[in-house]
């Protein structure tokens, strides 16, 4: 397999090219994640679908440069979508399938809405399109764990001295008063590509309303895959089922 590790505007990315002419699945990590924390799931999906793989750490995460100083704006995920567009353009990647988890899922939806000609399909896992009280409750629980358990030390293994900054950026942004009205539903009608929304029914950060409102508003063909008893991270909690659903979806793409 041809592997390209590169940096682009402070991002660290890994492009695995094995199947010429086949789509590339770009994986977008969650609010505390990075490329390493996807474990072997991207490779398993690539092998199952004969697709290429692009992984990257957003600014402030993993091996990438620190995120910009100052308070994170409400529109930070739109900026991340623009950054992803620039990365894909720089790499001249076409036939892009976005696979985004949590924040990464929201960024995938925004990207597909802003740059529809660049995106072949979207798989969003536990994405958010608006703020719910259950989301804020989950974040407050994470804040408590960060201060009272080894969560900080565990995250430092992957983010190093950027850990405190990225954790505060996530928790303080989402719990700010001006973020309560954050909403990306206006991007959804502009999404014309096929969409698969994967959601755990027991997700501690969001309800099925996130799925239903997304599915009902996109312009392309949209399907949902709900996993009973599964929480916020289906690709870790139910990897075989999540892999199977994603594989079946990708195989339907023309």
Tell me the H-state helices in the chain.
41-49, 76-91, 103-114, 133-148, 151-159, 163-174, 209-217, 234-237, 239-251
Residue 95 pLDDT more than 80?
yes
Per CATH, the architecture of 2-251 is what?
3-Layer(aba) Sandwich (3.40)
Q: What is the mean pLDDT of residues 104-109?
A: 98
Indicate yes or no: pTM above 0.95: yes
Determine the pLDDT at residue 3.
63
In percent, the amount of the chain with pLDDT more than 70 equals 99
Domain boundaries, the chain: 2-251
Q: What is the mean pLDDT of residues 54-69?
A: 96
Give residues with Cβ within 8 angstroms of 92, minimum separation 6.
none
Q: What is the mean pLDDT of residues 186-202?
A: 98
The two tokens of residue 59 are 């600014």
Residue 2 pLDDT more than 60?
no
Q: What is the mean pLDDT of residues 7-21?
A: 93
Q: How far apart are CA 118 and CA 4, in angstroms?
A: 21
Q: What is the mean pLDDT of residues 40-45?
A: 96
Q: What is the mean pLDDT of residues 193-205?
A: 98
Q: How far apart are CA 168 and CA 254, in angstroms?
A: 42
- Rounded CA Rg of the chain: 17
- Return the axis-axis angle of helices 41-49 and 239-251, rounded to nearest 10°: 40
Task: Report pLDDT digits (tens) over 124-181.
Answer: 999 999 999 999 999 999 999 999 999 999 999 999 999 999 999 999 999 999 999 9
What's the mean per-residue pLDDT of the chain? 96
CA angle 26, 34, 190 (to 5 degrees): 40
Cα of 78 vs its chain's centroid, Å: 13
Q: How far apart are CA 83 and CA 137, in angstroms?
A: 29
Q: How many residues does the chain have?
A: 254
Determine the pLDDT at residue 1.
44
Query: Long-range contacts of range 85-89, CB-CB < 8 Å, 24 or more positions apart?
Result: 85/111, 85/114, 85/115, 85/118, 86/8, 86/9, 87/8, 87/9, 87/11, 87/13, 87/56, 88/26, 88/54, 88/118, 89/118
């Amino acid at each position: 397999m041809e592997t390209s590790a590169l940096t682009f505007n402070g991002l660290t990315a890994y492009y695995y090219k094995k199947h010429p002419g086949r789509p590339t699945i770009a994986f977008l990590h969650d609010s505390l994640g990075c490329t390493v924390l996807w474990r072997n799931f991207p490779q398993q999906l690539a092998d199952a679908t004969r697709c290429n793989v692009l992984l990257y750490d957003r600014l402030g995460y993993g091996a990438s440069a620190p995120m910009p100083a100052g308070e994170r704006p409400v529109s930070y995920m739109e900026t991340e979508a623009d950054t992803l567009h620039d990365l894909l353009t720089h790499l001249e990647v076409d036939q892009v399938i976005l696979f985004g988890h949590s924040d990464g899922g929201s960024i995938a939806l925004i990207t597909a809405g802003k740059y529809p000609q660049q995106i072949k399909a979207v798989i969003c896992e536990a994405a958010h399109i608006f703020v719910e009280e259950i989301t804020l409750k989950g974040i407050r629980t994470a804040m408590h764990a960060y201060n009272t358990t080894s969560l900080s030390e565990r995250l430092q293994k992957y983010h190093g001295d950027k850990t405190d900054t990225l954790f505060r950026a996530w928790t303080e942004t989402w719990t700010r008063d001006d973020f309560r009205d954050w909403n990306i539903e206006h991007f959804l009608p502009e999404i014309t590509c096929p969409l698969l929304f994967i959601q755990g029914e027991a997700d501690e950060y969001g309800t099925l309303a996130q799925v239903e409102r997304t599915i009902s508003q996109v312009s392309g063909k949209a399907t949902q895959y709900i996993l009973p008893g599964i929480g916020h991270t289906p690709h870790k909690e139910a990897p075989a089922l999540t892999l199977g659903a994603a594989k079946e979806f990708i195989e339907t793409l023309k």
